[in-house]
Amino acid sequence: MPEFRLRPWISCYNMPELPEVETIRRELSPLLVGKQIAKVKVLWPKTVVPLTSKQFSTKLRGQQIVSVTRRAKILIIKLSGPWSLVFHLKMTGQLIYQPTIGGTDNLPNQFTRLVITFTDASQLFFNDLRKFGWARLVLDEHLALLTNPYGPEPLSAKFTAHFLQELFLRYPNRTVKQILMDQSLIAGLGNIYADEACFLAGVLPIRQAKTLNRPQTEKLHQAIVAVLKLSIKKKGTSTRNYVRSSGRPGGFVAHLKVYGQAKAPCKVCQTPIIKIKHLGRGTHYCPRCQQ
Ligand SMILES: [Zn+2]
């Protein structure tokens, strides 16, 4: 089972964020585009609501994969019919591709919710331990309803230092972390990359937005872009549940500076990293490097 092939580096779940979903997208795209779906097996019917397992399987059968794209943390597989197959991995979802039936990962396993078999006998498994993830068939004309509520992509031209400054002016009393993690303001940032970007910028995540001056905001903007780009390059952060589409872990764990490092010495100043609860989420920072 892929999860247990990973070393338990860090004892908390990491929800897939932008770099993890983007890694899966980049890996799946060349593997899936052009393939035709032969068979779909739904092992946990709630994964595909509002459709029934039978409706879902029937609509997918015979469909060809046209493209694999991403918006925020949502993976969008465009089909030859007027639909897209959309996945949200939520907390513990995994999409694992196997080129042949009966590969080395012993899939399906007890956490497999959905199996898609292609006409060349390759398979895509959707595993989800906590069962919060979902797969939906969305009509092309409804896709915008699903993706419009999200703020701009942080790696797009729309996300500028000026844009971040405007957000901080609009919500002066919110904390920096609260703004960074609000999906309607910026898409795809979660707990790991909000904490890591704040460390890189030397900014306390629990500071109120109005207390940041322009250079600090600019530094934070640069840090967000840098941390996301590096993580995509390293194929994401694997702690307990995220694995790449091949079932292998991502390599960003070695680059984490504060996330999951509570009590460990800061990599810059040796002061123990502090972990607090902020907005119900574990929040990590260096009390000396971050102000
Ligand atoms: Zn430090």
pLDDT tens per residue across span 133-166 = 999 999 999 999 999 999 999 999 999 999 999 9
Ligand 1 centroid distance, CA of 262 (Å): 12
Which entry of 2, 16, 19, 249 is annotated as an active-site residue? 16
Strand partners, 71: 74
Q: Distance between CA atoms of 74 and 87, rounded to whole angstroms?
A: 6
141 among known catalytic residues: no
Ligand 1 centre and the CA of 289: distance in Å? 4
Catalytic residue, chosen from 70, 71, 73, 174, is 73
Q: 266 alpha carbon to ligand 1 midpoint, in Å? A: 5
The predicted pLDDT at position 8 comes to 30
Ligand 1 centroid to 191 CA: how many Å?
19
Place 11 in a pLDDT band, splitting at 50, 70 and 90: very low
User: 4 pLDDT exceeds 80?
Assistant: no
CA of 257 to the centre of ligand 1 (A): 9
Band of residue 105 on the pLDDT scale cut at 50, 70, 90:
confident
Does residue 82 register a pLDDT over 50? yes
Percent of all residues in the chain with a pLDDT value above 90, rounded to a whole number:
83
281 is catalytic: yes
Query: Cα dihedral sign for 141, 143, 145, 151?
Result: negative
Q: Give per-residue pLDDT as tens, 202-260.
A: 999 999 999 999 999 999 999 999 999 999 999 998 866 788 888 888 889 889 999 99
Specify whether 27 is catalytic. Answer: no
Question: How far does residue 207's CA lie from ligand 1's centre (Å)?
Answer: 17
Q: Exactly one of 59, 234, 248, 281 is catalytic; name it.
A: 281
Compute the distance from residue 161 Cα to the ligand 1 centre, in Å.
25
Is 149 tagged catalytic?
Answer: no
- Ligand 1 midpoint to CA 264 (Å): 10
Say which of 17, 20, 22, 196 is annotated catalytic.
17
Instruction: Return d(Cα 286, Cα 291) in angstroms, integer.
Output: 9
Report the separation in Å between the CA atom of 209 and the middle of ligand 1, taken as the mean of its atom positions.
22
